[in-house]
Each structure stands twice: as C-alpha cells, then as structure tokens.
Structure 1
C-alpha cells in the first residue's frame, strides 16, 4: 500500500512539474533584437472577420533607436516605443498609445494582438522581412 502511495505521489509531482514548465503567451519576453525590423502583416482579424492582407499594405517597422512606424493601408503613424514583457508599447506623435502584444513568436513569424487608446482591436499574423 505504501509503495502505491509513493508511486502516486511521484506521478503527481512529475505531472505538476511538467504542467508548470509549459509556456503561456505571457511568458514571451521580447528583446529589442527579437523585434527590430519590419513586420509584414499577412493576416488580420477584426470583430471576428478575418482578412488575408496583401504584401506591403500593413506593416510595422521597429527601429533600434526606439522609433517606429506603422502603415495600415493609406494611414501612417510614427512615434517612439518601449518593450514591456511580451508587449511593444508605442506612442505616436498625436499622441495615441498602441499596444502590440506578441502572443506567439517563432523566429521571424509572430502572432500579435493589437490595440490602441482609440479602442481599436485587431489580431495580426506577421512575418519579419
């Protein structure tokens, strides 16, 4: 009986360790090196509707000097940014605050939840040039 309890405890402990080591979206810690460059949005979703985005129509350029530019079709925004955890927080010259929360980052491919202080919300899939 005692042997079964010990085996059960070991199984429980190992499964707990396994589950606690699995990564979550919030576990992504961005570095400047991982995000610097131009991210071409290839897919976007707004209000549950998805759209394949033609190349060059929507992109985000993050520069090493802390400046950035966003192009969304004919709209262009620029400003400065900082990185907090898995989120790039930009402030445009208007000023509008933009949040680019990286929910998945695998090499040059990312999934980003975008929101801003004007209450716009989008989901993006992007590839770094």
Structure 2
C-alpha cells in the first residue's frame, strides 16, 4: 500500500504515519484501540502475517485465510475500556463494514492483553 494514502482505519493520517509502521513491525501499538485499528487495516490490506503475529499465542489459529472478494470499507469504534499505555488489559467494541456481493458489517467486542509488554488480540464476542 502506498505510504501516503489515507490509512484504512480512517483515523485521518496517511498509512505510513498511522498503521503502516505497526504492520511492518517498526513500532508497537501504544493502546488496545491502536492494535484494533492496525488489525482492521491488516484485514483491509490482506496482511495475514501481521494478523497472526498480533494474536495471543493461546487463542491464535494455526492458519488464517481471508476472503479475496471481501473489501473492508470503514471502521467504527463504539467504545473502549482500559487498554491505555499503563493498562495490561483492554476492551474495544467496534463495527467493521465490508462489501462482498453486498454490504455487511461485523459488530464485535474484542478483548486485548499484553504479552511481553506488547498488545495482542485475545478474543472477541460477535454481537448480533
């Protein structure tokens, strides 16, 4: 992805100043929300390696396949609990909008924790 293009997470920064360095391993996500945004971006750009790397080792699947026909449109962060620079756990509720043959959305409450000082995705509950 072009580093000067808007980041898919829609935080308002170019990819190269937002989620790009996190996906590339050049810096860590400072908060649980930042990790959530970077994981959304990884889904949007098809970065399976980053998705697996940012998943808790205990809950991470062995493999991951992405639907090549699914295009991620935008992310809405509904709420966060904890997950700040000095917390060890955090929660992010979001709706991720996508398009395949029709539009859809994924509403999830995700749990994050730290492993070796860095944020990782632990698990999530999909909301109806």
TM-score band, normalised by shorter chain: 0.3 to 0.5
TM-score (norm 2): 0.35
TM-score (norm 1): 0.35
Report which of the two structures shows the higher radius of gyration computed on alpha carbons.
1
